[in-house]
């Protein structure tokens, strides 16, 4: 009997990503499914198990136990059982979550670190993010003004991470689980309205869908993709320009001034990063850029990591606060 269409949809999504030109360097690579036991990653595990039987690639799963909720051991055990039923060997990795920067963020950081550490070398780690997750990410990024990078959303392939379900709706992963007799775990956090993402999912997006008569999640995901393509192109131009504007351990201000603002700020960001300046905000970049675009002899801005930017004799230079060049 042919599989239900929704099950085929999940398998096709996995195959498409693995057979895409971008994934060519990973042809035949071992596959690791990051599985929480929720509907998205359980449906993903089922699709990967099926596809790997055809391609002959080795496949396994990792379940991260954050130990944050009562019964998390049982949730992990139940996930391993279902994964075994799918023919996927699975290991549970227990992590310590230190709570720095908020519990959710700390759990995510610990999870990604554990997945990185436990995956076989040269493997791809498949994550179950869906089109709905992408739409929420874009909307959150827009609302918080976090810049094109976050509005551009998650990448389908960002080795070692792969996200084949970014084109698939969450309702489809739930239906695919039902169709295959899988019983996903429902994370109580997903219904906790103290989280901004949950309110976006349960209140804001349904209202937007209603007001705009549907298609909002798809439109947001489409926008993310367009922005990603534009950002990638701008970034490639910036990388090429950076090598042209470098001069005497700094940057040539006049050459920089002639660049379009979107390229110029990317050049500045890439250069400052290469000089060791960490974690710049949009405000830092704009004040750095003012030394070029709005030059009137002003002093340079202080930057994170105790760095200072200075413009002198037509050159832009980074110095440490005690006026030494970085790395010097």
Distance between CA atoms of 51 and 45, rounded to whole angstroms? 10
Q: What pairs with residue 34 in β-bridges?
A: 62
State the minimum distance, in angstroms, from the CB of residue 108 to ligand ATP. 4
**Candidates 59-67, 206-214, 267-275, 318-326; binding stretch for ligand ATP (CB under 6 A):** 59-67
Rg (CA), the chain: 23
| 138/309 with CB nearer ligand ATP | 138
39 is in an annotated binding site: yes
Chain centroid, CA 47 distance in Å: 22
- If the CB atoms of residues 139 and 238 are measured against ligand ATP, the closer one turns out to be 139
36 annotated as belonging to a binding site for a ligand: yes
Q: What is the residue-wise DSSP string for 239-286?
A: HHHHHHHEETTEEEHHHHHTS-HHHHHHHHHHHHHHTT-----HHHHH
Only segment of 14-22, 30-38, 264-272, 273-281 that touches ligand ATP (CB under 6 A): 30-38
- Interface size with ligand ATP, residues (CB under 6 A): 14
Stretch that binds ligand ATP, among 61-69, 258-266, 268-276, 281-289 (CB under 6 A): 61-69
Cis-peptide into 160, omega within 30 deg: yes
Question: Is residue 40 a contact residue for ligand ATP (CB under 6 A)?
Answer: yes
What count of other Cβ atoms lies within 10 Å of the Cβ of residue 85? Answer: 13
| Residue number of the CB atom closest to ligand ATP | 128
Among 6, 17, 31, 34, binds ligand ATP (CB under 6 A): 34
Q: Is 40 annotated as a binding residue?
A: yes
Which one of residues 13, 35, 80, 220 is an interface residue with ligand ATP (CB under 6 A)?
Answer: 35
* 38 in a known ligand binding site: yes
10 binds ligand ATP (CB under 6 A): no
Is 300 labelled a binding residue?
A: no
Residues 123-142 that bind ligand ATP (CB under 6 A): 127-129, 133
What is the DSSP track for 106-147? HHHHHHHHHHHHHSPTTPEEE----HHHHHHHHHHHHHHT-H
275 binds ligand ATP (CB under 6 A): no
Q: Which residues of 200-214 are buried (b: 16+ CB within 10 A; e: fewer)?
A: bbeebbeebeeeeee
Q: Which helix (H) or strand (E) holds 79?
A: helix 72-85
Shortest CB 129 distance to ligand ATP, Å: 5
Question: Of residues 86-115, which lie at the interface with ligand ATP (CB under 6 A)?
Answer: 108, 111
39 binds ligand ATP (CB under 6 A): no
Dist. CA 227–CA 134, nearest whole Å: 13
Are 231 and 152 contacting, i.e. CB atoms less than 8 angstroms apart? yes
Closer by beta carbon to ligand ATP, 108 or else 286: 108
CB of 49 to ligand ATP, least distance (A): 14
Interface with ligand ATP, residue 246, by CB under 6 A = no
Torsion of CA 304, 235, 142, 225, to 10 degrees: -150
Please enumerate, by residue number, every residue annotated as part of a binding site for ATP. 36-41
Contact positions vs ligand ATP (CB under 6 A): 34-36, 40-41, 62-64, 108, 111, 127-129, 133
């Amino acid at each position: 009997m042919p599989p239900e269409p929704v099950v085929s949809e999940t398998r096709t999504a996995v195959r498409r990503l693995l057979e895409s030109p971008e994934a060519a360097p990973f042809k035949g690579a071992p596959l690791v499914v990051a599985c929480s036991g929720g509907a998205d990653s359980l449906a993903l595990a089922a699709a990967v198990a099926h596809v790997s039987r055809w391609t002959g690639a080795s496949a396994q799963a990792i379940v991260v136990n954050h130990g944050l909720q009562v019964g998390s051991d049982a949730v992990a055990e139940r996930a391993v059982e279902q994964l075994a039923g799918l023919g996927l060997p699975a290991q549970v990795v227990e992590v310590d979550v230190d709570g720095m920067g908020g519990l959710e963020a700390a759990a995510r950081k610990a999870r990604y670190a554990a997945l990185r550490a436990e995956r076989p070398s040269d493997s791809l780690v498949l994550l179950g993010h869906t089109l709905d997750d992408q739409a929420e990410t874009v909307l959150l990024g827009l609302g918080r003004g976090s810049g094109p990078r976050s509005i551009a959303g998650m990448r389908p392939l960002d080795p070692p991470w792969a996200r084949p379900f970014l084109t698939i709706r969450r309702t489809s992963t739930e239906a695919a689980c039902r169709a295959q007799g899988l019983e996903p775990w429902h994370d109580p956090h997903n219904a906790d309205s103290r989280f901004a993402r949950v309110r976006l999912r349960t209140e804001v997006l349904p209202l937007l869908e209603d007001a705009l008569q549907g298609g909002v999640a798809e439109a947001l995901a489409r926008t993310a993709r367009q922005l990603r393509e534009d950002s990638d192109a701008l970034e490639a131009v910036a990388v090429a320009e950076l090598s042209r504007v470098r001069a005497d351990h700094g940057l040539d201000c006049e050459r920089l001034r002639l660049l379009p603002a979107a390229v110029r700020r990317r050049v500045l960001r890439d250069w400052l990063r290469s000089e060791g300046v960490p974690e710049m905000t949009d405000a830092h970049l704009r004040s750095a850029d003012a030394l070029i675009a709005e030059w009137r002899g002003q002093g340079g801005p202080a930057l994170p990591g105790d760095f200072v930017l200075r413009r002198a004799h037509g050159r832009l230079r980074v110095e440490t606060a005690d006026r030494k060049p970085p790395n010097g």
